Amino acid sequence: MNTTTIAAKPTGAAPRAHLFGVSAAMVTPFTETGAVDCERAAGHAVRVIEEGADGITLFGTTGEGSSLGLRDREELLSAVLDAGIAPSRITAGIAASDLEMAETQARMVFQRGVRRLLLAPPFYFKGITAEALHDWVADFVARVSDAQPQIILYHIPQVTAVGFAPETVRRIKQTCGDAIFGVKDSGGDWSLTSKLLPMEDLAILIGDERSLARAAPLGGAGAISGMANLVPRRVGAMVRQGQADPALDAFVEEVVTVPVTPMVKALVGAMRSDPAWTRTRLPLSQADVAAVNRLADVLAVLRQQEIEITGGAR
């Protein structure tokens, strides 16, 4: 078997006001009829935490959150809570362009004890001003402030076409105070990431695993990570020790050449020997079988290396 070397933690690492750790951006399984498969979801949530994740994020991009209705969300959240996942370990994605629906999605998780939200910007209208984005977030915070939320602003402009510029993040934080916990930066633009990392009053979370090791010693607080569905301990090593992981970087480079969410789901299925994980909800299509088989072989090596490198410890 080929082995890989993970570099030592760089010296002079910057202190972090927050250490968020690794939250698996959990994929959502579906039954043959298209319903959320709560049994599989609950089992996967438990396993990723047993295998090294600090928590899970539901209803995000990797979880097909924009394709999940309120009933789907309620059933999925209930399933993972009933499986013993503490509300403090759960982050809930909010995806809505109207404030009423954004509040409704948030209230549902608040009722079950979850306080941490991953808030996508309003994404239907494009070219909105920074002022309008600030005001939209401030209005949302005002609506839910009684629940004492911890809100992570979700910067993923390649999907939403609306991004959180560092200057806008700073103004939102000044306006909304402790309600704004951090930023998830999934933009893949290091020039923007490098402006967010010095914000010591925010948890700066990295969505692109290829930047994790670089961000950690500069103040990066952790990750909401699709790869944590597959190799959570390896992702954790990059967050906690700033350890470079060239083999994982190369794997991510391959995954991002295809539609990512269907591929991550299919790789969970390959890892668990359960083809039901290949099911997606429209408008997404299932991953290409040949690509899945090729990447599943690479994943098997990565998971074996993960055990060897970390000794199975978190």
Other beta carbons less than 10 A from residue 163's beta carbon: 20
129 appears as a binding residue in the annotation: no
- Tell me the C-alpha to C-alpha distance, in Å, between residue 1 and each of 88, 96, 253, 304: 39, 46, 21, 9
- Tell me the C-alpha to C-alpha distance, in Å, between residue 242 and each of 31, 40, 128, 294, 310: 39, 32, 36, 29, 14
Q: Which domain holds residue 149?
A: 21-243
> Dihedral, CA atoms, 232, 236, 238, 241, nearest 10 degrees?
-160
Q: What is the pLDDT of residue 274?
A: 97
Q: Model-level pTM greater than 0.85?
A: yes
Buried b (16+ CB within 10 A) or exposed e, 26-50: bbbbbeeeeebbbebbbbbbebbbe
Q: Is residue 72 part of a domain?
A: yes
Q: Is residue 314 part of a domain?
A: no
Which residues are known catalytic residues? 154, 184
Q: Is residue 258 part of a domain?
A: no
Q: Is residue 66 part of a domain?
A: yes
Return the closest-CA partner of residue 216 out of 15, 5, 7, 8: 15
- Count how many domains the chain has: 1
Q: What is the CATH number of the domain that holds 120?
A: 3.20.20.70
Q: What is the pLDDT of residue 5?
A: 29
Q: Is residue 39 part of a domain?
A: yes
What whole-number distance in Å separates Cα of residue 312 and Cα of residue 188? 30
> Dihedral, CA atoms, 226, 231, 232, 236, nearest 10 degrees?
-100
Q: What is the pLDDT of residue 14?
A: 40
Residue 69, helix vs strand vs coil: coil
Q: What is the pLDDT of residue 241?
A: 85
Regions of the chain with pLDDT less than 50:
1-16, 314
What whole-number distance in Å separates Cα of residue 239 and Cα of residue 19? 9
The two tokens of residue 279 are: 């099911």
Q: What is the pLDDT of residue 171?
A: 98
**Which element (helix H / strand E) includes 181?**
strand 180-185
**Within a 13 Å sphere around the CA of 226, how many CA atoms are in the beta-carbon half?**
26
Q: What is the pLDDT of residue 65?
A: 97
Q: What is the pLDDT of residue 240?
A: 87
Q: What is the pLDDT of residue 116?
A: 98
Strands 222-225 and 21-25: parallel
Q: Is residue 208 part of a domain?
A: yes
The two tokens of residue 160 are: 């939403």
Q: Is residue 276 part of a domain?
A: no
Contact status, residue 22 vs residue 233, Cβ threshold 8 Å: no
Q: Is residue 116 part of a domain?
A: yes
62 appears as a binding residue in the annotation: yes
Q: What is the pLDDT of residue 310?
A: 60
Q: What is the pLDDT of residue 308?
A: 67
Amino acid at 85: I
